[in-house]
Amino acid sequence: GRLEAVTQQMGYHPQYLDSFLKTQHYLMHMDGPLPFDCRHYIAIMAAARHHCHYLVNLHVLQFLQAGGDPQWLRGLDYIPPKLRNLNEINKILAHRPWLITKEHIEKLLKISEWSWSLAELVHAVVLLAHCHALASFVFGCGCEQDEGLGGRGSLKALSSGNQCFCEATAGNGCSQELLRINRKRSLDSCMELDSLRERMQRIHMETEGREEMRLLQQDREDGKVQGWRAAVPHLDSPTGLSPPGDPDGAVTGATNLACYMQDPDFGYQDFARRDENQTQVFRVQDYSWEDHGFSLVNRLYSDIGHLLDEKFRMVDGLQSTAMAKRQGCEPSVFKRGIWNYIHCMFGIRYDDYDYAEVNQLLERVLKVYIKTVTCYPEKTNAEMFDRFWKQFKHSEKVHVNLLILEARMQAELLYALQAITQYMI
Q: Kindly list the catalytic residues.
A: 52
Are 324 and 331 within 8 A, CB to CB?
yes
Q: Read out DSSP for 301-366? A: STTHHHHHHHHHHHHHHS--HHHHHHHTS-HHHHHHHHHHHHHHHTTEE-TT--THHHHHHS-HHH
CA-CA distance, 289 to 305, in Å (whole number)? Answer: 10
DSSP-based three-state secondary structure for 422: helix
301-313 core/surface letters (b: 16 or more CB in 10 A; e: else): beebbebbbbbbe
* Cβ count near 210 (within 10 Å): 7
CA-CA distance, 397 to 392, in Å (whole number)? Answer: 7
Angstrom distances, CA of residue 240 to CA of 92, 194, 234, 337, 366: 30, 10, 8, 41, 35
Are 300 and 119 within 8 A, CB to CB?
yes
Angstrom distances, CA of residue 245 to CA of 150, 253, 267, 361, 415: 11, 8, 26, 41, 39
Length of the chain: 425
Are 304 and 298 within 8 A, CB to CB?
yes
Are 167 and 159 within 8 A, CB to CB?
yes
DSSP state of 283: E
* Cβ count near 163 (within 10 Å): 11
Burial category of 246 from C-beta neighbours within 10 Å (exposed 0-12, middle 13-18, buried 19 and up): middle
* Cβ count near 273 (within 10 Å): 7
- Residue 282: its H or E element: strand 282-283
CA-CA distance, 125 to 130, in Å (whole number)? Answer: 8
Are 124 and 116 within 8 A, CB to CB?
yes
* Residue 76 one-letter amino acid: L
